[in-house]
Amino acid sequence: ATKPPILTVNNIEVVYDEVILVLRGVSLSVPEGEIVALLGPNGAGKSTTLKAISGLLRTEDGEVTRGNVSFMGEEIANMAPEDIVRKGIFQVMEGRRIVEDMTVIENLRLGAYTRRDNGVKKDLDMVFDFFPRLRERTGLAGYLSGGEQQMLAISRALMARPKMILLDEPSMGLSPLLVKEVFDIIRQLNKELGITILLVEQNARMALKAASHGYIMESGKIVLDGAQEDLINNEDVKEFYLGGG
């Protein structure tokens, strides 16, 4: 049985610069404690959907002009991104976006910037237990390998103690071995820390393997959705997204 949704996106339209209509009525829901994949070709509007949820759309002159985004029963569309972080949603942006000329610890502290409690030190330990390799890296984040930078980007999200993480193409630019490692970590965050995950990926095969449910988006609309098994066995999904067979 599916758990109740922690996040519901209901028929949203998104416009950039007041004229460019990019999302044309997107609806999706993410059950609490699950991993949901959002797939589709370049330019379909996947990143825009994540930014509409996290509020980061506003930093690019984008706006939700119709529909609702509801998180734990509360309307959050067009709310300020730092308020959305405080409510428990953290987006890990595409391309990792760590601060290269700051140290690992300084990057991690940035993730906790919205917090007012003093558990930050304890959480640094929690993060380093989760990613032991990061503890050993005391230099600037710019010197980390691509895989380590992705882990740092995810760790930084953990420092905000999120209930839900939005991940934008975490496998981008990584070798197959590291892709597997990053997906193992995603599963662990979900299983061990109970974090709900909405995952945007080009690597549809890996994403569907990790997710309980998937949505496929084309040209600003959801064109197909279903449970993991249904999508993996769907002929169109196989042909267009899983490379045939």
Q: Which residues bind ligand ATP (CB under 6 A)?
A: 16-17, 20, 22, 40, 42-48, 60, 62
| Antiparallel, parallel or unpaired: β 74-75 and 62-71 | antiparallel
Shortest spacing between CB 155 and ligand ATP, in angstroms: 23
CB of 61 to ligand ATP, least distance (A): 6
Do the beta carbons of residue 91 and residue 56 sit within 8 Å?
Answer: yes
104 or 214, CB closer to ligand ATP? 214
Q: For residue 67, what are the CA distances in angstroms to 12, 74, 80?
A: 4, 13, 17
For residues 105 and 114, give the distance between their C-alpha atoms in angstroms, rounded to a whole number. 16
Please report how close the Cβ of residue 60 comes to ligand ATP at its closest, in angstroms: 4
Give the nearer residue to ligand ATP in terms of CB position, either 48 or 228.
48
> Which residues on neighbouring strands pair with residue 10, listed in sequence order?
68
Cβ-based nearer residue to ligand ATP, 36 or 127: 36
Q: Which is nearer to ligand ATP, 17 or 74 (CB)?
A: 17
The distance of closest approach from Cβ of residue 59 to ligand ATP in the complex, given in angstroms and rounded to an integer, is 9
Q: What share of the chain is helix, strand, coil (3-state, %, to 5)?
A: 40, 30, 30
For 13, the 3-state DSSP assignment is strand
Answer yes or no: are the C-beta atoms of 127 and 108 closer than 8 Å. Answer: yes
Q: How many CB atoms lie within 10 A of CB 47?
A: 22
Whichever of 45 and 147 has its CB closer to ligand ATP, that residue is 45
How far is Cα 195 from Cα 66, in angstroms, rounded to an integer? 28
- Our CB check for ligand ATP shows the closer of 17 and 235 to be 17
Q: How far is the CB of 163 from ligand ATP (least distance, A)?
A: 23
Q: How far is the CB of 65 from ligand ATP (least distance, A)?
A: 14
* Alpha-carbon gap, residue 234 to 125, rounded angstroms: 43
